[in-house]
Amino acid sequence: MYHSQRILNSSSPATEGGEGIVLDLWYQERHNDEISLGLHVKKVLATKQSPFQRVDVMETSGFGRILTLDGLMMVTERDEFVYHEMIAHVPCLVHKKPERVLVIGGGDGGTLREVLRHDSVKEAVLCEIDPEVVSLSRQYLPFTAVGLNHPRAKVNIADGVEFVKNSADHSFDIVIVDSTDPIGPGVGLFSGAFYKEVRRILKPDGIVMAQCESPWENGIDLAKVYGNLREVGQVWAFSGSIPTYPFGFWSWAFASATAHPYEVIDMERARAIEKSTRYYNTEIHRGSFALPNFLKQRLKGVVSNA
């Protein structure tokens, strides 16, 4: 996933460690054979091969520190707030009083950080399969790892599918599936069987939230990804701008047997949360459920807002 090139006259910021000759180092993510994203890298900070995946941490010149898994972008310091604010505040501000929240995946801690801004949350439980992700995040990504170290956070290193199977009935108000893509270790988190189990551990008025890839991605059957969430109840899609994710545009599912995702937002709690957010506000909350026609076509009959 790396492409490096020695050049004598670079207009790019110098990569650390060079003397005279500049190393023009770019992280290149080919989303597929057709489109790629490049970020200029100042320094590769860590590279680990865990039993699950390759984990890299880099310092970039424009996006701060970044974390990639198997060469795919997971977190950048500059734009991670969009993903983490949306996946946390949309369900937490719709739920009347979220007390127990489960985050599956999300080993960087960013989702925990946002969930724990809600005072009603007594315990935010994380279940991350790869200890290397948690450990490298603690070492290099303090801006998200702050969530891992929060007194009301409980970090488990375990397989999410197994963890859900072993959890008690009706034990969580909100379950957030903060997974990687539906390839590699994250694949089980996209199945209907998994969501059936998620419903079992969810309280009757609970909410499930899941990242659901880019609306522009034709290599994934979005209707199937969203459709599997119907095991939980009714499903809605929403979207947001994330420059460093494929196509710069991401989507999430909101699923619940009882709750509507934007008819009633707790405005008093929202006003307090909005003071700390950089993306989320209640207009964005509602507006993000407006889907472009091409996405409505892909999700017709599957999500309630298509």
Rule CB under 8 A: choose which of 22, 36, 200, 265 binds a second copy.
36
Query: Under the criterion CB under 8 A, does residue 293 sit at the interface with a second copy?
Result: yes
The span of 126-134, 138-146, 163-171, 245-253 binding a second copy (CB under 8 A) equals 245-253
The pair of three-digit structure tokens given for residue 236, joined into one six-digit string = 């809605």
Dihedral of CA atoms 274, 280, 286, 290 in degrees, nearest 10, equals 170
The pair of three-digit structure tokens given for residue 287, joined into one six-digit string = 């507006």
Q: For this structure, is 205 an active site residue?
A: no
Rule CB under 8 A: choose which of 4, 6, 7, 13 binds a second copy.
13
For residues 181 and 30, give the distance between their C-alpha atoms in angstroms, rounded to a whole number: 14
Rule CB under 8 A: choose which of 15, 53, 60, 68 binds a second copy.
60
DSSP string, 124-161: EEEEES-HHHHHHHHHH-HHHHTTTT-TTEEEEES-HH
Q: Are strands 65-69 and 234-241 parallel, antiparallel or unpaired?
A: unpaired
Report the site for a second copy in 112-171 (rule: CB under 8 A).
Answer: none
Query: Under the criterion CB under 8 A, does residue 241 sit at the interface with a second copy?
Result: yes
The catalytic position among 56, 108, 173, 178 is: 178
Q: Which residues contact 161 (CB under 8 A, 6 or more apart)?
A: 188, 189, 194, 197
Q: Which residues pair with 175 in a beta bridge?
A: 102, 208
For 189, which DSSP code? G
The pair of three-digit structure tokens given for residue 153, joined into one six-digit string = 């956070």
Rule CB under 8 A: choose which of 47, 260, 292, 300 binds a second copy.
292
Query: Under the criterion CB under 8 A, does residue 40 sit at the interface with a second copy?
Result: yes
For residues 203 and 115, give the distance between their C-alpha atoms in angstroms, rounded to a whole number: 18
Q: Between 79 and 98, how does the x/- string for binding to a second copy read (CB under 8 A)? A: x--x----------------
Considering the complex, state which of residue 92 and residue 125 has its C-beta at the smaller distance from a second copy: 92
Closest distance of CB 17 from a second copy, Å: 18
Query: Under the criterion CB under 8 A, does residue 284 sit at the interface with a second copy?
Result: yes
Query: Under the criterion CB under 8 A, does residue 267 sit at the interface with a second copy?
Result: no
Q: Contact positions toward a second copy, by CB under 8 A?
A: 11-13, 26, 28, 30, 32-40, 60-63, 79, 82, 215-216, 239, 241-243, 247-249, 274, 277-281, 283-284, 286-294, 296
* Catalytic (active-site) positions: 178
